[in-house]
Chain A
Amino acid sequence: QSALTQPRSVSGSPGQSVTISCTGSSNDVGAYNYVSWYQQHPGKAPKLVIYDVTKRPSGVPDRFSGSKSGNTASLTISGLQAEDETDYYCCSYAGTYFVFGGGTKLTVL
């Protein structure tokens, strides 16, 4: 049950796009289309921004999008805004358990 691998940090300027990767294995990310992404501001509960690899919950801006290729899932945030600066986590179903990534800190320059 190894954690999914995310970059520790990414950055971008307002208006630009950034992509956060989430690498797992053929047992989790590669096996199931059940990857979700969460945004977490300090001291707050996580907020779901993408589920089932590409689906966006109601109320989440369409600037947030998800994709997957092989064992790697990705979250892309376009038109970066200051309020996007925080931590992001991926999560995958793995058959007999679920697993999160280590988290990525997004900095808006």
Chain B
Amino acid sequence: EVQLVESGGGLVHPGESLKLSCAASGFTFSAYRMHWVRQAPGKGLVWVSCIESYGGSTKYADSVKGRFTISRDNAKNTFYLQMNSLRAEDTAVYYCARDGGGLPYWGQGTLVTVSS
């Protein structure tokens, strides 16, 4: 059974940093592109970033480019989102998701709150 479990969310002040993790199991992690998608309270889904299976290529939404960094450790079946210079508008539930014909598998989400 495919499982994706996010961790690392919490309450931070504007300008601070936070690192999210997504632990994967039930599939060959190294074979799949992985994504982060966020959803602000009461708002829609917004794609944030993705990383190719081998980790060499990454993509970012303009709203996070230069502030967020996606990475992965295929040996640990885990990928990450390092979020720096956080802003109030980054407040959201962050989901990790696996690629493979759309995004067929999602985690349960982790809440990041940026507030002073």
Contact = CB atoms under 8 A, between A and B. Distances in A.
Interface residues of A, number: 26
A93 to B, nearest CB: 10
Contact of B103 (A3, A46, A99, A103): A46
Given A1-B61, A45-B109, A46-B95, A91 B44 contact: no
Contacts of A40: 45
Interface string A27-38: 000000000111
A15 B37 CA distance: 33
Contact of B101 (A57, A98, A99): A57
B92 interface: no
Interface string A82-95: 00000101010000
Contacts of A55: 101
Name the interface size band of chain B. Answer: 20 to 34
Interface in A1-45: 1, 3, 36-38, 40, 45
Given A97-B47, A97-B60, A100-B45, A45 B101 contact: no
Interface of A: 1, 3, 36-38, 40, 45-48, 50-52, 55, 57, 87, 89, 91, 96-103
Given A50-B102, A103-B45, 17 more contacts: A1-B61, A1-B62, A1-B63, A3-B44, A36-B103, A37-B102, A38-B45, A38-B102, A40-B45, A46-B45, A46-B106, A47-B106, A48-B104, A51-B101, A52-B101, A97-B47, A100-B45
